[in-house]
Structure 1
Amino acid sequence: MSALVTLLATLCFAYAAGIFTVLSMIEKPIWPLLQDPADEHVRTATVRRIHAQLRELLPLLPPTMKTVMGAGAVLLATQAWLQAFDGITIATLAVFVLGMLYILRRLQPRIRAVAALDSAGDATRLRIATGELAALHRAGLAVAASVLALQIALVATI
């Protein structure tokens, strides 16, 4: 049972890391906005295009990722319990919980900011909203990839 839970948790975070990687690749042309929303190297037309793409994904990805990350949370907690809260399961759970606290505190306002704007609207607001959501996707990738790496280390010990 413990091996199955560990495998399922690993698969959840592999899926999550994959989704966040795809989002990061979509957002790659606007990465400079993460540091400076006024960066002149990022064309406004590019911001508008990526904003439109993200808006199209809003009905699908947030519910999907909430389900995957929620299932991952249950599986990580179950894994820790089944393995008597040993060091690596506690470390994995801690990385996940701390990362999710950071993300969840910011998620809904950033999604709403992107959803509320028209892609043809004010360029400054588009740059800020799209850049802030992209930054959160990068944080999600960091959390999912970190948990995945810890899970792979755990799978290697089974």
Structure 2
Amino acid sequence: MTQHLRRRVLGILALLGCLFGLMVWFGSLAPAPGVGAYPGSEELGTDYDAWVGDQVSLTGMVTDTDPLTISAEYGADEQVRLRVTDAAVDAQQGDSLSVYGVVEPDLTVRSLNAYTVPPGNYLYMYAVSFLAGLWVLGRIIRSWRLDETWSLVPRETPLGIGDFTTQSTQVEDHDA
């Protein structure tokens, strides 16, 4: 392995380590409503009374519609059931309800803004994201190549569909 390639691999590993460290650090930050980081289900589930009167932002599964009740997960498979008032949404049982509101006594959240996401929308989101990822990968393969130092460089002429079929038949003819 050349010295240049070693440096590149070490640089990538260092950047991935920094990315992982920043994700862990960000996940450990306490809520700060002054900067838009509102408490969520984790904080309400562990110490509900400490947040009464404060604004909260959380998402939970609708378990009942009369009164509107959500079940929000926190911790290791623990759940807190909250009643949501003043929500101007048509929520159905099984929908995911995102609520921004004020914490009231007796496990109640007074909604200032709320919206639902039907379960089928998640499948659509993942399918579209997967197809978009394949499209981007195809564009990268078509327009870029790796040179001998493992650097990504633009192709002089982008590959076409015919280039893939021609290369595969040339390899088969060469092997014969």
- TM-score, structure 2 as length reference: 0.24
Q: Which has the higher helix share?
A: 1
- TM-score, structure 1 as length reference: 0.26
Structure with greater contact order relative to length (CA < 8 Å, sep ≥ 6)? 1
Structure ID, larger Rg: 2
Q: Which has the higher strand share?
A: 2
